[in-house]
Structure 1
Amino acid sequence: MSLFPVSYSLLSKQAVGLHIQHHYDIGNVVKIQYFLRGMNDTYEVETDVDKYIFRIYRADRRSRSDIEFELELLQFLGANGISVSEPIPGKDGVYLRGFNVMEGTRYGVLFQYAEGHERPIHAIADSYRFGESIGHMHKAADHFECVHAREQLNMEFLIDRPLSIIRPYMEHRLMDYNYLGEWAAELKKRISELEIRGLDWGVCHGDLHGNTNAAFVKDGELTHYDFDLCGYGWRAYDLAEFRLAREIHSGHDPKEVEGLWDAFLRGYGSVRSLGENDLAAVPVFVAIRQLWLFGLCFQDSEFAGIADYDEGFIDRKMQYFKSLGYV
């Protein structure tokens, strides 16, 4: 009897623990917990020596080359003074190990545990420090080179693909979908016009919302992690996610948003300059990020379930897109 196809498999945490115990020289595994399901599966591992993070990438999301790029970037940043959660090699020096599952090959990587505390950024001082740390990250990444191919954070990734993902879920609302297509075309046009005048392009983290993915340690320093969305892209897009997160998590208080955003830019600018075109592009990329997230929700519904993405969800998204007035 042939096995029925699957789109997503969850590996046994007990088996993952035995795998780690066998392949890594990190002491005896005393506890392993399935910590988070997101763009990948994350396990929290505790040994009699230290704590670690083990990530298993989804077969339909990341190729071996994608992951090799991420790991080399982390090692490069760490070697250049940027505090990041770096990968840990196995006993044989190998960083990346494949798990053959029903949907293909899923790769696993062991990472350092980022000590410190995640906290939402609501304070001016924290926002300044976060911006400063991203400035250092971008400055160091300007010199990164890698032979491994990695998907770029370009218009195909940010707009074209999300629109194709969204389409089947809005077949019954073609007027709204067509509006969204016109809206997205206007965003592409605006970025193209700014790009002609010059936009900063380089390695991006891809998920700099400032709520998680960074841990505050002593003296306000930060350790960054979860580079699963990294790649070459517009730096204004990288910064736009921080701006968007402030708009969402500030209760839409314009004064608080602008105060935190100004502090972030001052921190970033204390390390690395940001051009006027890049600043002008940020609001456009905030809108583009929302479109990308809209597509991601429907993409993830295949394994998370469609229940939360009902008509009310679509209504709220369309209300937001229309409120921006690009069409």
Structure 2
Amino acid sequence: MQNFFPAQYSTLSAAALKNYLIKTYQLEQSTTCRLLIRNVSDTYILENLNQKYIFKIYRDAHRKRNEIEGEVELLNILNANGNSVAYPIRDIEGKQIQQFNAIEGLRNGVLFSFARGKVILDLADRHLIQLGHDMAKLHQSASSIKLTHPRPIFNFETTLFEPLKDLEPHFAEMKEEYAYLRNIAEKVVQKFEEFNTSAFGYGYCHYDFFPKNFHFDEHGKITFFDFDFAGEGYLINDLMSFLNHYFFHQQSNSISREQAEKDFVTFLTAYQQVNPLTDDELQAIPYLGITFHIFFLKFFYDHYDDWSNIFLTPRYTRHRVALIKKWEEMYCNF
């Protein structure tokens, strides 16, 4: 038996995966397979004349099998409830998770239905209204279930205090920036003491509701996908992450502040036609943006080696802290 030197992060062969998946799922022999994205998880696209699929390979360092089982369970329920999501496909034996003995160890993969349509970054009113309605319906499903498998939990411990503790070594030469993050984290917690959070909608949120994660087809139908970060928390986390789309859009001068505010109100109004929010929930949305930015700063730090995110330099980190300050100026009132 040949011994291989251990690898930290391998890329599975698209040609080998094609043969494996054609056999395991009894796909058409003409099906092609190519690597689409090499990232936190690797994404392949499979297609033939009649069908398209997405196959995602997870990294064990990012998602353990029981968490993947939680994602699959969630998507099965959402799909059964009539929510338009890219759902896991069963193989000829009924399994929805494949396992591969890669160089670095076991890796798990899931074949998903393809989300028809395309990403639309500059959303018109009709898109925003449809998005508001469909996200609200998704939340109605996601708030009425309790999965048997674990998913991440989004609370102040996991999005503020644990990240700041883990990030402290990274900020060794950026004392001022680190002090700012510690201070604003405390302000967020104090602000939430003003809200009646017991009345907040709670359930499984997507936590990455940017336009890159849903497609519109030619008839305006939306399909949601990439539930990799989905976990338990306040449902308004998803509205907050969508607000981040407009925040970044403004930072790149792709939209005016006036238009961004108008568009978000259009979306928010449509959402509440299906799933009304309390006044406190509406006021709380911007403050969760602070937790979102700190959470992902830790995520970049934790997965620096495997993701090869060479952008995590002191310069980049200072830029991210500066963005948090801009977010505070635009949306928060401490």
Query: In structure 1, what is the Cα distance between the partners aligned to 2:178 and 2:10?
Result: 32
Q: In the TM superposition, what is the alpha-carbon distance from 1:5 to its structure 2 partner?
A: 4.1
Q: In the TM superposition, what is the alpha-carbon distance from 1:183 to its structure 2 partner?
A: 1.7
- The equivalent of 2:39 in structure 1 is 38
Letter in 2 for 1:226: D
Counterpart contact for 1:21–1:29, Cα < 8 Å: no
- The equivalent of 2:262 in structure 1 is 259
- The equivalent of 1:226 in structure 2 is 226
Give the alignment's TM-score, normalised by structure 2.
0.90
**Could you list the per-position Cα deviations for residues 154-176 of structure 1 after superposition, in whole angstroms to 9, with x for gaps in the alignment?**
22322233324432221112232
SS where residue 270 of structure 1 aligns?
Answer: helix
Query: In structure 2, what is the Cα distance between the partners aligned to 1:297 and 1:95?
Result: 29
SS where residue 108 of structure 1 aligns?
Answer: strand
- The equivalent of 1:65 in structure 2 is 66
Q: In the TM superposition, what is the alpha-carbon distance from 1:29 to its structure 2 partner?
A: 4.6
How many residues align? The count is 326
Counterpart contact for 1:95–1:110, Cα < 8 Å: yes
- The equivalent of 1:50 in structure 2 is 51
Describe the shift of the 1:197–1:144 C-alpha distance in structure 2 as closer, same or farther (beyond 3 A): closer
Structure 1 window deviating more from structure 2 (109-118 vs 48-57): it is 48-57
- The equivalent of 2:12 in structure 1 is 11
Letter in 1 for 2:37: L
Letter in 1 for 2:16: A
Matched, 1:319 2:327: no
The structure 2 residue matched to 1:281, chosen from 277, 280, 284, is: 284
**Could you list the per-position Cα deviations for residues 253-299 of structure 1 after superposition, in whole angstroms to 9, with x for gaps in the alignment?**
22011111101111101111111111111110112212222222223
Counterpart contact for 1:26–1:49, Cα < 8 Å: no
The structure 2 residue matched to 1:298, chosen from 284, 296, 301, is: 301
Query: In structure 2, what is the Cα distance between the partners aligned to 1:299 and 1:119?
Result: 30
**Could you list the per-position Cα deviations for residues 43-79 of structure 1 after superposition, in whole angstroms to 9, with x for gaps in the alignment?**
0011354111101111011122211121121121111
Query: In structure 2, what is the Cα distance between the partners aligned to 1:102 and 1:6?
Result: 6
Query: In structure 2, what is the Cα distance between the partners aligned to 1:8 and 1:191?
Result: 40
Q: In the TM superposition, what is the alpha-carbon distance from 1:90 to its structure 2 partner?
A: 0.7
Q: In the TM superposition, what is the alpha-carbon distance from 1:203 to its structure 2 partner?
A: 1.3
SS where residue 318 of structure 1 aligns?
Answer: helix
SS where residue 187 of structure 1 aligns?
Answer: helix
Describe the shift of the 1:93–1:304 C-alpha distance in structure 2 as closer, same or farther (beyond 3 A): closer
Letter in 2 for 1:16: L
Structure 1 window deviating more from structure 2 (270-279 vs 165-174): it is 165-174
Structure 1 window deviating more from structure 2 (168-177 vs 233-242): it is 168-177
Give the alignment's TM-score, normalised by structure 1.
0.92
The structure 1 residue matched to 2:275, chosen from 272, 276, 279, is: 272
- Structure 1: which 5+ residue stretches go unaligned? none
SS where residue 116 of structure 2 aligns?
Answer: coil
Describe the shift of the 1:104–1:137 C-alpha distance in structure 2 as closer, same or farther (beyond 3 A): same
SS where residue 107 of structure 1 aligns?
Answer: strand
Query: In structure 2, what is the Cα distance between the partners aligned to 1:83 and 1:156?
Result: 32
Describe the shift of the 1:313–1:16 C-alpha distance in structure 2 as closer, same or farther (beyond 3 A): same
- The equivalent of 2:97 in structure 1 is 96
Query: In structure 1, what is the Cα distance between the partners aligned to 2:196 and 2:12?
Result: 44
Q: In the TM superposition, what is the alpha-carbon distance from 1:306 to its structure 2 partner?
A: 5.4
Letter in 1 for 2:238: D
Query: In structure 1, what is the Cα distance between the partners aligned to 2:88 and 2:144?
Result: 20
Q: What are the equivalent positions in structure 2 for 1:192-231 lying under 5 Å apart?
A: 192-196=193-197, 198-209=199-210, 211-231=211-231
Structure 1 window deviating more from structure 2 (133-142 vs 99-108): it is 99-108
Letter in 2 for 1:316: H
Query: In structure 2, what is the Cα distance between the partners aligned to 1:166 and 1:6?
Result: 26
Structure 1 window deviating more from structure 2 (274-283 vs 188-197): it is 188-197
SS where residue 274 of structure 1 aligns?
Answer: coil
Counterpart contact for 1:29–1:45, Cα < 8 Å: no
- The equivalent of 2:313 in structure 1 is 310
Counterpart contact for 1:121–1:127, Cα < 8 Å: no
Query: In structure 1, what is the Cα distance between the partners aligned to 2:223 and 2:206?
Result: 13
Letter in 2 for 1:300: H
Describe the shift of the 1:66–1:30 C-alpha distance in structure 2 as closer, same or farther (beyond 3 A): same
Structure 1 window deviating more from structure 2 (305-314 vs 46-55): it is 305-314
SS where residue 220 of structure 1 aligns?
Answer: coil
RMSD, matched Cα: 2.2
Counterpart contact for 1:24–1:91, Cα < 8 Å: yes
- The equivalent of 1:168 in structure 2 is 169
Counterpart contact for 1:41–1:55, Cα < 8 Å: yes
